[in-house]
Amino acid sequence: MEVSERTAIKAASKEVSHEVKTLMNTEAIDSLKQTQHLILGRLQDSNAVLSHFNEYSENCYADVMAEFSKNTRLLKSMKTDLDYIFVKLRNIKSKIFATYPDAFPNESVDTRPDLELEVPRDHVSPTESHQPPSV
């Protein structure tokens, strides 16, 4: 490259940089930087609060989940026990009714369908597993 081309390029770049500088207001740029730093600080604070809340929520969830699982197992066990009791009661009542037809008023006879016949195959009642109901 020639010297004159280099000086022309240098002069053109100085002119462009000067024009760019005059296009931007330094006070506006400083104000923009300050606003960006303020927003950054707020976002960092919000992030810290959310991180703390997530940790707290995780701990609470672990506590509640353990209790919920325990109560779910208890309810399932209670349902199994009640099913066993109602089957036994229904059998006893049907035997009494067969032996003594006048022992119960007509309203007390259970005419509902036997729901135990519709029990899913994976469900094992205490009578099938030969276990007495837990109390």
Closest CA to 85 of 105, 70, 77: 77
Residues 70, 80: Cα–Cα separation, whole Å:
16
Distance CA 129, CA 77 (A): 14
Domain that holds residue 90: 3-118
Averaged pLDDT, 8-24: 87
Assigned domain for 123 exists: no
Domain membership of residue 91 (yes or no) is yes
In a domain, 96, yes or no: yes
- Please tell me the predicted confidence (pLDDT) of residue 114: 65
Please indicate, yes or no, if residue 135 is contained in any of the structural domains.
Answer: no
Does the pLDDT value for residue 81 go beyond 60? yes
**8 compared with 103, residue with greater pLDDT:** 8
Whether residue 131 is contained in a domain is answered as: no
Q: Confirm whether 129 is domain-assigned.
A: no
42 lies in a domain?
yes
Number of domains the chain contains = 1
3-state secondary structure of 28: helix
Burial bucket for residue 44 (CB in 10 Å: 0-12, 13-18, 19+)? exposed
| Phi, psi angles (nearest 5°) of residue 75 | -65, -40
Per residue in 26-63, pLDDT (tens digit) is 888 899 999 999 999 999 999 999 999 999 999 999 99
